[in-house]
Amino acid sequence: MGTILQAVYSVSDPLSPIGTPDDRGFTAVTSASDCHGMWYSALLVAPSVLFVIYLATSAIKNMKRFFVGRSFIMILYYALLWIATLLNLAWCSLQAWECSRGKEVLWNILSLFTSSGMLFLEISLVAFLLKGNYSGGMEAMFHNLIISGTLVGVDVLLKVVYVFGFGIPLFIRVGSSHWAKWGVWTIHKLLPTAAYGFILFVHFSKWRDKLPPRPSFYNYIAVMFFVSALAFFASALAAFGVEFGIWLYNFTLISYHSMYLPFLYATFLADFFQEEDFLLENAYYSEMRDAGFFDSEWD
C-alpha cells in the first residue's frame, strides 16, 4: 500500500505533494502547503477565497433582486451555489488531510460532498439552460431537482462503493500504476464529455432549433466539453501508465475547483441579475411614461 500512495513527481513540481512519506505512504504534514506545495495550495485557495468575498459583498444586492424577480429556481440555485462554494473552500483549504495519517476518511467524505455539490450544480445548470426560462415555478424547480438529484445520487452511491467498499483511492493521490482508480475516473470523465459533445453536435445539426438560442449556453457547453475532454484524456493516459497524465489530471483538478464556480456564476446568475436590471429599467420607464413624464418631448 505504501508504494501506491507515494508521490510520482519530484519535490520541485508544484502539482505534486512534497515531504517524506511514512511507512503507509502518507506524509507528516501540518499545512496544505507542506502536502502539495505552496503554488498548488495558492492556486486553489486564493480564487476560492476571492469568490467567497465577492459573493458576500454582493449578497444583499442579490437578495433584493431575488425578491423582485420571484424566481424560485434562481433562489434555489443561489443557495446551492453558496453551499457548494463553502464546501469547495473547505476542500481547497484542508488539502493537508489528504496527506495526513488518520484523516483519509475525513478527506474522502469532504471530497465526496464537495464533488457531489458541484456536480449537482453542473447538471442542474444544463437542465435549466435547456429550458431557456428564467421565471420558473415550483413544478419546474422540482423537475430539475428530481433529474439532478437522481443522477448525482447514482454518482455518489458508486463512489461510496468504490472508495469505502473496494478501497479505491479516488480522492487520494496515487501513482499511474493504480489502474483501478484511473480506470474509474476515465469512465467517469467520459460521461460528461459525451454529454457535452452531443449537445455541441446538436448545435451544428439540423436539430439546433431544439436548443435555446442563448450565446451563454453554447459558451458554457464548449468550455465544459473542453475541460471534461481534457480530464478524460489525462485519466486515460494515467490508466495506461503515462505519468504525464497524472500531472495533466492535477492541472484540470486545480482549474475545475478554482474556476468552475465563478464561471457558473458569470454564466448563470450574473446573467439573471443583468436581465433583472433591464426589466426593472423597462418597468420604471413604462411607469414614468404612463404618468406623463415624457409628454413634453412630443409637444
- For residue 291, pLDDT beyond 70: no
Tens of pLDDT, residue by residue over 74-124, are: 778 888 999 999 999 999 999 888 888 888 899 999 999 999 999 999 998
Tens of pLDDT, residue by residue over 263-290, are: 988 887 776 655 544 444 444 445 444 5
Residue type (1 letter), 199: I
The pLDDT-based confidence of 18 (bands split at 50, 70, 90) is: very low
- For residue 179, pLDDT beyond 80: yes
Instruction: Yes or no: say if 80 and 121 are a contact pair by the CB < 8 Å rule.
Output: yes
The C-alpha cell that represents 16 in the structure block: 505534486
- Its pTM stands at 0.77
Select from 258, 252, 267, 270 the least CA-distant residue to 85.
258
The pLDDT assigned to 87 comes to 96
- For residue 26, pLDDT beyond 60: no
Q: Identify the weakest region by mean pLDDT among 188-192, 205-209, 295-299.
A: 295-299
Tens of pLDDT, residue by residue over 125-173, are: 888 777 755 545 567 678 778 888 999 999 999 999 999 999 999 998 8
Select from 91, 85, 92 the least CA-distant residue to 106.
91
* Residue-range domains of the chain with CATH: 32-276 (1.20.1070)
**Winning range, highest mean pLDDT, from 41-45, 76-80, 174-178, 215-219:** 41-45
Rg (CA), the chain: 22
Tens of pLDDT, residue by residue over 42-59, are: 889 999 999 999 999 887
The pLDDT assigned to 22 comes to 43
